[in-house]
Structure 1
């Protein structure tokens, strides 16, 4: 069940990410990136509700945390694989767009050309398809785990000891 919702979440997130990238909204509208969290929250909630439905409406905190973490893991791995393929083969200029966006942000902060050059040289080491995937997967796992902690605490319903 968590695997199924992880796959569904991953596929929806990939389609959403593809739409943002194709329309260049990923770089121009930061607020739209938060919708990815809404998609993940929805998948975690649906997976936990399904688990509760199959278990007489009971789910311990640990069970919920495990379900949410598994949903997040599957979704993050799918997203990471997609990101690698997208950056490496489909949109080979993606990293250049990221670099341009970063330079623009640093210029808006009033940084000098030397400071910008230094910041870019440090970040370029991390702007490879492989590192982008690593950050995407581990970032997704981290935030998904935190979300699972909260959602599990809200949705848990412990089975009475003498039932």
Structure 2
């Protein structure tokens, strides 16, 4: 009797929820410490490392549950599933944050961009600045930011899943 293969969907759901909650926890810590507007490469690196760790761990859990074997397609399914679920949860939190918790946050972002433009390009005319800020405002809308968060999560999830899947894959020689 052949052993039943573990469900990529169940593992993706479990670890996708973990990724989503860790991402939300990071966002909450940044908010509570008043660091949301001052994000830098370290913050981005921490978020990326959280995603990397959860995806690789989820793939390892799948491989172990599958008798130590994992095909690349299964690694991609698990990793992309984790990234998608985590991205959706993070995007839902982001949407709630921008519309309910801190609805004026977008105005703070735009004002910070205005200050950065004045500092980096002091010769910019008021009309040019207003045009740039108007465009930035369109991208700062809650549903646009949430959509970008999901798409970005899937993109980076694919890259991570592909690389780690190529490293972790091991074919079952008894399977045809």
Unaligned runs of 5+ in 2: 1-10
How far apart, in 2, do the equivalents of 1:116 and 1:34 lie? 30
User: Which residue of the other structure, out of 6, 26, 29, is the alignment partner of 2:39?
Assistant: 29
Structure 2 residue corresponding to 1:11, chosen from 21, 29, 47: 21
Match of 2:156 among 128, 138, 143: 143
Cα distance, 1:161 vs structure 2: 5.3
- In 2, Cα distance between equivalents of 1:101 and 1:144: 30
Say if 1:162 and 1:95 are closer, same or farther in 2 by CA, change over 3 A: closer
> Which has the larger displacement, 83-92 or 135-144?
135-144
2:142 pairs, out of 106, 129, 133, with: 129
Structure 1 segments unaligned to the other structure (5+ residues) = none
Residue 162 of structure 1: how far off its partner (Å): 6.8
3-state SS of 1:125 partner: helix
TM-score (norm 2): 0.85
Residue 2 of structure 1 corresponds to 12
> Is 1:86 aligned to 2:97, yes or no?
yes
1:73 aligns with 2:84: yes
- How many residue pairs end up in the alignment? 163
Structure 1 Cα separation of the partners of residues 120 and 81 of structure 2: 39
TM-score, structure 1 as length reference: 0.92
